[in-house]
Structure 1
Amino acid sequence: MYAGFDYGTSNCAVGVVKNEKSNGGIELLPLEAGNPFMPSALYSLAKELIPENVGLSIENPEEKEAYIRSRSGFLEQARRVRREEGINDQDQSLYFGNAAFDQYFSFPGQGYFVKSPKSYLGASGLRPEFVSFFEDIVSSMMIHVKQQAELNLADTIQHVVIGRPVNFQGLNAEQSNRQAIDILTASAKRAGFKSVEFLYEPLAAGLDFEARLTEDKTVLVVDIGGGTTDCAMVRMGPNHRTQQVREQDFLGHSGERIGGNDLDILLAGRELMPLFGMKSKLKSGLPMPTQVYWDAVSTNNVSAQSSFSSQKTELLLDQLAMDAAEPHLLDRFIALREEKQNFHVVRSAEQCKMMLSTTEADFVDLSYVEPGLGQEISRAQFAQAIERPLAKMSALMDEAIAQAGCRPDLVYLTGGSGKSLDIRNMVAEKLGQVDMLDGNHFGSVTAGLTVWSRKLFA
């Protein structure tokens, strides 16, 4: 069996062809409580238990033996943690998707939680042990997703096409792309996929859209996901979709690590972090240092999270609390750090962002940090917070159009962040009279990956 697998920054999804013999339509398989979209999140009772879960789940004997040999030290750490924490072998130790969020919200300050691990895969300067750890996180998630998909499919998925952004990172793009693809490939193999291929996500989204075109068009595909913005200029339509070789139809593409997560982070930083002292002053009259606040909300940045959780930051915050003109704000920030609630704050900003697509203002409830704490945010404040990433997204559209050397006949806007009113207005203002059509903001990439998997493996 073959499938398309969107291991996304925000969500995971798997698509298959309903009936291969009759060339049936695309179906997205339920992954969580009947929903085809599972949030890309993992919670473990202890991070040392993640490689243990991978080792126990690998089915191929040779792959399993090689993995256990390469992770012997980590697996010994897992056994030690179980003994010290009193965690039985029968106890569930890993949770995925919404269940991961539930555990994180229910037990603040405990366990290990990670959201959007795809954002980390291309990070520069990762030491080998960090690369191995991210492989284990991705492997655990892929194993779980594959198991859930096959449970609903009642068949085994052996061949898969996985989506990838044009660039995982802006800096050292070639090296970071290679690192990320290597991690995804190793993880997919450990999950049990025999054949693994990759396709650019904007092209995948375009393939899904192309099936509905009744005449040939030059289309600008704008895929604004959680972690990246990817643009592609593609010739599409009835005279193109039957061609086996499509390279000549791909006229230009661009991409950068700027997406919905960055909008959430900027909103959290500008509008919520002041509740924790970000815009306050020291007793000396000097402004409060801000980098530690940006580290807190930069939940998609490995080095920022490492810095925020370090002893150096702990000592810095203790000193700032003594020097602060409003020490209660720093005490609140210190409590947030100790309870590991920075991910929760960014999640609250994300929910506010979604509400502001349909309303002029939204109240962000932060009572999980402190009773009665919260902040109202207007659509105008959100628009001001995201000016810089919008400018970058606009520049990526320019780059793809310039490579193609022609204007698009229409724009196909997809990706979860494509629902944002501010982003839609930016695209509409930029391209004037060019028609803008919407895709399935969460499912178009998966559907296109499935179309491509049929071309490769059927």
Structure 2
Amino acid sequence: MKPDYGGIDFGTSNSTAAVFGQGGPRLVALEDEHIAMPSAVFFNFEDDRTYFGRQAIEEYTSNTEGRLLRALKSILGTSLIREKTRLKGHSIAFSDIVGGFIAYLKERIEADLDAGLDKLVLGRPVRFVDDDDEADARAQAELEKAAQSRGCRHVEFQFEPIAAALDYEQRVEREELAFIVDIGGGTSDFSIVRVSPEGRVASDRKNDILANAGVHIGGTDFDRLLSIATVMPEFGLSTPTKDAKRNLPVAYFYDLATWQRIHFLYTSKAMSDLRQIRYEAARPELVERMIEVIAHRQGHALAAKVEQAKIALTDRAETDIILDMLDDRLMLSISAADLSRAITNSVQRIADTALKTLRDAEVTAERINTVFLTGGSTAVPQVRSGILGLFPHAEVIEGDMFGSVGLGLAIDAHRKFA
């Protein structure tokens, strides 16, 4: 019989899917030869079709009329999941948009298996929502419902860092105490796991998992903070009203800097409010830039430029953000020091969560043999140094930045469903 199970890593920024075959776990091609795809959905108003991943972004950047949505995972467990967004002549619930994206990934697995996908292991962060167990449980239930509504009758969950540990364990030659670091687009997750060659074939691993901890901070938060610190002031953030009695209200600036909230700016109310803000501003020409970006629905393009700058600063001291969607074509020079200042508090919270993992496991940093890194945001220098500085004597292992969790989920699916 052909296997009818697989694993899906539905990420804030990128997603993967994997299956378990005779040679072990392998990632499924999602877009041509690409095994990781952006977690993006584009509703094309011109041909009334829905596009996913890179194609969604290409449709958006080609100035096709429509609606782009990214960072959908971030709305799980929040009130936004129950809201609807307007698409041309109708409205669609965000829960259905999440379900549509899961359905696309499911179809790619089924095409690879040449069989239906009935059983699924979904990755989940240690915390969907910080400090709110009820909202956290609700987020998992929402994701489970999305998968079941698309035909997966049996849905299980696994912590993403545990999945990464299962992937890493496939290559170990001796028993190790591993500190698993998974920092992606939306969350920073940690696990301390005892891995070994014997563990690869063991069915019960409860005693090998010493601790899990996580915090809802990731790459999209770094994008937001960098945008607020360097780009939004050029749009009027922190500038005064013309009567100098107060600064301009901040809500719309923060929305424009936040991936999952950008689409809320594309309304007549938001535009009316921004025109009023421009009227009250001491520097109305700055707010006019913001109005221009929103009027042409270039909010996601702006966020993408900030994201690209963040990525560029992982290995260089300075880069430029060129706002060529503006009539006055603004170029901003952004330094690694700018990024570091913008994310300092978030990096400290991530490091604090790593230390909490050690405390929960009741082990010292010196006992950790290996630090295993996965997730795109582990490439951010401040984040990387903040974590690795806690373990000066441990061996550092680089996992597949985007694929380790997906591979581990396929291993887990094989254990649970084979």
The TM-score, its normalising length taken from structure 2, stands at 0.91
Counterparts of 1:426 and 1:145, CA distance in 2: 34
- The offset of 1:135, in angstroms, is 2.3
The superposition leaves residues 115-168 of structure 1 with CA deviations (integer Å, 9 ceiling, x where unpaired) of 0211101114864768x8122112211222222333344333322111011111
Q: RMSD of aligned C-alpha atoms?
A: 2.2
Residues 83 and 94 in structure 2, CA contact (< 8 A), matched pair in contact too: no
- The offset of 1:404, in angstroms, is 0.4
Of 318-327 and 401-410, the range deviating more from structure 2: 318-327
Counterparts of 2:211 and 2:379, CA distance in 1: 24
Counterparts of 2:297 and 2:252, CA distance in 1: 14
Q: Which consecutive unaligned segments of at least 5 residues does structure 2 have?
A: 86-91
Q: Would you say 1:30 and 2:29 are equivalent positions?
A: yes
Match of 1:94 in 2: 50
Question: Which amino acid counterpart does residue 139 of structure 1 have in structure 2?
Answer: G
Q: 2:137 aligns with which of 169, 178, 182?
A: 178
Q: Secondary structure, in 3 states, of the residue corresponding to 1:241?
A: helix
Counterparts of 1:128 and 1:152, CA distance in 2: 34
Match of 1:166 in 2: 126
Match of 2:349 in 1: 392
Match of 2:273 in 1: 316
Instruction: State, as a whole percentage, how many aligned pairs show the same letter.
Output: 31
- The offset of 1:317, in angstroms, is 1.9
Q: Would you say 1:15 and 2:18 are equivalent positions?
A: yes
- The offset of 1:392, in angstroms, is 1.0
Question: Which amino acid counterpart does residue 251 of structure 1 have in structure 2?
Answer: L
Q: Would you say 1:116 and 2:68 are equivalent positions?
A: no
Counterparts of 2:393 and 2:62, CA distance in 1: 49
Residues 82 and 94 in structure 2, CA contact (< 8 A), matched pair in contact too: no
Q: 1:161-240, aligned counterparts within 5 Å?
A: 161-172=121-132, 174-240=133-199
Question: Which amino acid counterpart does residue 55 of structure 2 have in structure 1?
Answer: A
Name the CA shift for 1:128/1:117 in 2 (closer, same or farther; >3 Å). Answer: closer
Q: Would you say 1:300 and 2:264 are equivalent positions?
A: no
Counterparts of 2:309 and 2:319, CA distance in 1: 6
Bigger proportion of residues as strand: 2
Q: Which consecutive unaligned segments of at least 5 residues does structure 1 have?
A: 47-86
Match of 1:42 in 2: 41
- The offset of 1:209, in angstroms, is 0.6
Counterparts of 2:406 and 2:81, CA distance in 1: 29
Of 323-332 and 228-237, the range deviating more from structure 2: 323-332
Q: 2:375 aligns with which of 415, 430, 447?
A: 415
How many residues in Structure 1 have an aligned counterpart in Structure 2?
Answer: 406
Match of 2:321 in 1: 364
Counterparts of 2:222 and 2:84, CA distance in 1: 30
Question: Which amino acid counterpart does residue 18 of structure 2 have in structure 1?
Answer: G
Question: Which amino acid counterpart does residue 149 of structure 2 have in structure 1?
Answer: R
Counterparts of 2:374 and 2:49, CA distance in 1: 35
The superposition leaves residues 249-284 of structure 1 with CA deviations (integer Å, 9 ceiling, x where unpaired) of 111111121111100111111111122122433322
Q: 1:241-252, aligned counterparts within 5 Å?
A: 241-252=200-211
Question: Which amino acid counterpart does residue 261 of structure 1 have in structure 2?
Answer: T
Q: 1:268-279, aligned counterparts within 5 Å?
A: 268-279=227-238
Name the CA shift for 1:391/1:217 in 2 (closer, same or farther; >3 Å). Answer: same
Q: Would you say 1:259 and 2:218 are equivalent positions?
A: yes
- The offset of 1:330, in angstroms, is 0.9
The TM-score, its normalising length taken from structure 1, stands at 0.83
Q: Secondary structure, in 3 states, of the residue corresponding to 2:182?
A: strand
- The offset of 1:4, in angstroms, is 1.3
Question: Which amino acid counterpart does residue 411 of structure 2 have in structure 1?
Answer: V
Q: Would you say 1:5 and 2:12 are equivalent positions?
A: no
Of 343-352 and 272-281, the range deviating more from structure 2: 272-281
Counterparts of 1:424 and 1:323, CA distance in 2: 43
Counterparts of 1:41 and 1:247, CA distance in 2: 35
Counterparts of 1:225 and 1:369, CA distance in 2: 31
The superposition leaves residues 146-196 of structure 1 with CA deviations (integer Å, 9 ceiling, x where unpaired) of 223333443333221110111111142x22222222222222123222321
Counterparts of 1:154 and 1:125, CA distance in 2: 36
Residues 30 and 105 in structure 2, CA contact (< 8 A), matched pair in contact too: yes
